[in-house]
A and B are shown apart, each in its own frame.
Chain A
Amino acid sequence: MTTAKRRYDKSGHLRFGILLALAALVATAPRAAQTPSGAQALQAACGACHRPDGPGRLARISAVRKTPEGWVMTIFRMQHVHGLKLSDAQRDALVRYLADTQGLAPSEAKPARFALERRPNVPDLELPGNLQTMCARCHSAARIALQRRDAGEWLKNVNWHLAQWPTIEYQQNARDRHWWRTASTVVPAELGKLFPLHTESWRIWQHHKAVDLGGRWLVHGHRPGRGDYWGTADITRGGDGDYRAAYRLTDEHGTATDGASHAIVYTGYEWRGTAKLGTLDTHEVFAASADGSTLSGRWFIADHPEIGADWTAVRAATQPQIVAVSPDSIRIGSRARIVVFGSHLGGKISFGPGTHARLIARSADRLEIEVAVDSAAHPGYRTVRVGRASDARSIALYDRVDRLEVTPAYAIARLGGGRIDPVSAQFDAVAYEDIAAADGKTRALRLGSLPVAWSVAPFNEEAVRDRDVDYAGHIDAFGQFMPAGAGPNPQRKFSADNTGNLFVVATLKAQAHPAASAKPVVGKAHLIVTVQRWNTPPIY
């Protein structure tokens, strides 16, 4: 079996597009559980190896619950390791059936959504006790926390691990202990308690009536390194149960982007879309709220999940409503153009004490306002009001920038080469003013993204000596670090790879500086540029 064959689809994701052809196969009833065809298809595809172990049950399969991605990964293994033959359409239908009937309740998936959303460089979940070292050193703890099974079935999963990777016991952080003894006793017992098959939340969720997500939605989000965006989504539900969405988005620099998505909602709330946003091919991992009033998560570039943006959509209301205000802050003593995005925006506009607002342009869902801030205004947050609508997030007035916080504070980028794309690292810089409060403490005033210049610097002496800055890659104007090619570099000591240990530095650009402050305002993050990862599973 070649490495190439064992890799997931280049996107590392379900090929949702295939489902177009599947309309006839997939049940149109609201819950796939009620359709015998799903159970029959499962029996036909899996029954040769997974024998019934009770009425309506198949060994192993009936004993687990997983996310759609979890089912994709398991079935992928059945195909590529155990020789299961399935068309993509059959596989996608099985995933849909299994995620609907043996999925996770929203509250169960919630703590580890970051993994489904493929957010790069976020801290993993912490499993208690020695579970972390035992089980979360090859993959995330999230991969485990996104499954449910009882102790006996966890034990089978652990058996398969050691059977499949017999060197586990010899690896670092395993050979220092009686790995198998712990893995076959303590681990399944603890996991069975933490992540059991039968839960009250799943019992209740199975009776939840799925909400039709069709209608008009107002969208806003933030794309690290590029800023805020907002717009509308028109969602319709097809006869096949799939959703189609049309997007009209604008970013804070005024660039308009149209998009279209085709999505499936698994387990009654897990929105998985394949979309085109302008020229980008993207995937969407959103969750609908139980009442169907919000749809939130993250979209990312299909081939580069590390690049993406937050996404929140709320149903367009019949009441006045502010959905987004951009930018997040205005310097005291200056004038700025602010966009207020929402619906039914009319009436008096106010940005609070010390400000003067003047409407410049108005469209159905968007106001463009010039705001002048008095030199004597006090720094702090102001509530934005338009008629009866007020924005909970408000806007900050500041007189200086004290610091920049670069996120993620610690990131990993991976070298590319051969068949494997590099994994870049995307940084974002958020500005703060530290205000002395009456109680003697300082209060951080969040100013949002301000224009910054990006650069890299050696992290330590070793990085200076090995000239990591020259070899490891480069950072662009949008805070995206692109690593260099992989493989031994004869110019480096020991023909080392182009790995590196760097600071990523954001420096506030002059226009955001108040004239008085001369010292450059910088923020730093730590970046490790390391070797390739050989496969890109849907859940790390």
Chain B
Amino acid sequence: MKAQEFAIFGLFLSLGAAAFGATKHDYIVTGSKPDHLFVVDPAKRTIASEFKIPGANDFVGTIVPSPGGRIAYVLVNKMESIAGIDLTTGKEVFRADLSTPGERVKCIFAFDVTPDGKELIVYELPVKLGLSEYKVEDTRFAVFDTRAGLHAEPVREFPAPRRVHTILARKDGKSFFAIGFDLYEYDIATGKRLGMRGIRHWDYPGHSIPDLLAFWPVSEPTGIFASPVYSTVKPPSGHGAPVAKTALMTLDLATGKLAFHDFETTSALIFSAVMSPTKPEAFGVYSQLSKIDTGNYTLARRVDLAHTYYAVLVSTDGKEVYTAGAMCDIGIFDAETLAEKGDVRLTGCTDQSITSPRLIRR
């Protein structure tokens, strides 16, 4: 990868190099319809750079930054292509068009890059397009070489279960997690299923089958993926309607430790969550911003937001929380008080919608 990245980096150095400062700090990468990719400097409350993604086709979905934050892999083209955009130059340096003539392939938001940056693991839903008939085919994982350039084709393919919504590479680079009905783990090289742990089949006494749908594969800066999970429990009296509970699911991408802990009787919808790097806390977002005490698993604080956001990030120093996704701005909040500190508006954005804003450090 490095060779190609470098060549293009060198070529366009003069155009975009100003965006990143000399000392390392946090940036937020986000996207918006129709074809925008933004690099936001949250400390300065400004847009550091803004690019157009070629062939986005009015769709900007999941964003996966390369390990050094040099490239953003973005799901575009109605979920049928992944474009690798160099975040310094804005140049497209990688492209995998998943569909081929006669076969339409969509990726429902689930893909990740390996920790060495060399491969992308993509969850694919293929469909055969006949003359007068469409036929659903079995879902699969496809692995791409990130150095393949603009016409990448899969180097390996493995069978995959249906209804997977998140892929997360393990930190050791040997396997990856796929979250769907349950949590599956696969060998990246062979596609062999290494294990399965319960989500639908979780072992959480007294709880119903949970509902989990995560389209925001954020594990930075802690290396722990977190997501709200909804289920019900029998009422304490044993009679009457079941009580809705919100739990936090955490998956440690280094150790593989999976845990679920209820933290409230559901009183607000939360779309996505992120772990604090400095305190036993997590943050969750939708119409409200919530802080979850992950020491005691209680709701620590909750504030109303001006509008809904789908995604939430936290700064590397743990001091600021960023709300993004859905509409056209990034909200900046104090991690301690959840008081609003600022807001960055994304120019030319129609909506961030389902994109997964990510935190990079450069």
**Residues of A that sit less than 8 Å from B by CB:** 49-51, 59-60, 156, 159-160, 162-164, 166-167, 169-170, 175-176, 178-180, 184, 488, 493-495
Which of the candidate stretches B88-96, B132-140, B220-228 sits at the interface with the other chain?
A: B132-140
Q: Does B178 contact A (CB under 8 A)?
A: no
Q: Which residue of the partner chain, among B129, B165, B213, B308, contacts A494 with CB atoms under 8 Å?
A: B308
Q: Check if B132 sits within 8 Å of A50, measured CB to CB.
A: yes
Q: Check if A167 sits within 8 Å of B108, measured CB to CB.
A: yes
Q: Check if A163 sits within 8 Å of B165, measured CB to CB.
A: no
Q: Check if B162 sits within 8 Å of A169, measured CB to CB.
A: yes
**Residues of B that sit less than 8 Å from A by CB:** 79, 104, 106, 108, 125, 127, 129, 131-136, 162-163, 165, 181, 209, 211, 213, 287, 304-308
Q: Check if A180 sits within 8 Å of B127, measured CB to CB.
A: no
Q: Which residue of the partner chain, among A159, A160, A166, contacts B79 with CB atoms under 8 Å?
A: A166
Interface pairs (20), CB distance under 8 Å: A51-B131, A51-B132, A59-B131, A59-B132, A59-B133, A159-B133, A159-B134, A159-B136, A160-B133, A162-B136, A163-B127, A164-B134, A166-B108, A166-B127, A178-B181, A180-B136, A184-B136, A494-B287, A494-B306, A495-B306
Q: Check if A166 sits within 8 Å of B133, measured CB to CB.
A: no
Residues of B within 8 A of A175 (CB): 163, 211, 213
Residues of B within 8 A of A167 (CB): 108
A494 to B181, CA, bound (A): 33
Q: Check if B131 sits within 8 Å of A49, measured CB to CB.
A: yes
Given contacts A170-B213, A494-B308, A495-B307, contact A156 B163 (CB under 8 A): no
Q: Check if A49 sits within 8 Å of B132, measured CB to CB.
A: yes
Chain A residue at minimal CB-CB distance from B180: A175
Given A159-B133, A175-B213, A495-B306, 9 more A-B residue pairs with CB atoms under 8 Å apart are A60-B132, A159-B135, A159-B136, A162-B136, A163-B129, A166-B108, A169-B163, A170-B108, A184-B136
A429 to B7, CA, bound (A): 76
Q: Check if B136 sits within 8 Å of A163, measured CB to CB.
A: yes
A192 to B59, CA, bound (A): 38
A14 to B209, CA, bound (A): 46
A164 to B213, CA, bound (A): 21
Residues of B within 8 A of A160 (CB): 133-134
Most buried by A among B79, B106, B135: B135
Residues of B within 8 A of A164 (CB): 134
Residues of B within 8 A of A163 (CB): 104, 127, 129, 134-136
A164 to B78, CA, bound (A): 12
Residues of B within 8 A of A169 (CB): 162-163
Residues of B within 8 A of A162 (CB): 127, 136
A49 to B129, CA, bound (A): 12
Q: Shortest beta-carbon distance, B317 to chain A, in Å?
A: 30
Q: Shortest beta-carbon distance, B236 to chain A, in Å?
A: 25
A488 to B134, CA, bound (A): 39
Given contacts A49-B132, A159-B133, A170-B108, contact A180 B308 (CB under 8 A): no
Given contacts A162-B136, A163-B136, A169-B162, contact A494 B305 (CB under 8 A): yes
Chain A residue at minimal CB-CB distance from B211: A176
A169 to B127, CA, bound (A): 14
Given contacts A160-B134, A163-B136, contact A170 B165 (CB under 8 A): yes
A176 to B211, CA, bound (A): 7
Chain A residue at minimal CB-CB distance from B134: A163
Given contacts A175-B213, A494-B305, A494-B308, contact A180 B162 (CB under 8 A): yes
Q: Check if A166 sits within 8 Å of B162, measured CB to CB.
A: no
Q: Check if A176 sits within 8 Å of B209, measured CB to CB.
A: yes
Q: Shortest beta-carbon distance, A305 to chain B, in Å?
A: 30
Chain B residue at minimal CB-CB distance from A60: B132
Residues of B within 8 A of A51 (CB): 131-132
Q: Check if B308 sits within 8 Å of A60, measured CB to CB.
A: no
Chain B residue at minimal CB-CB distance from A488: B307
Chain A residue at minimal CB-CB distance from B308: A494
A495 to B309, CA, bound (A): 13
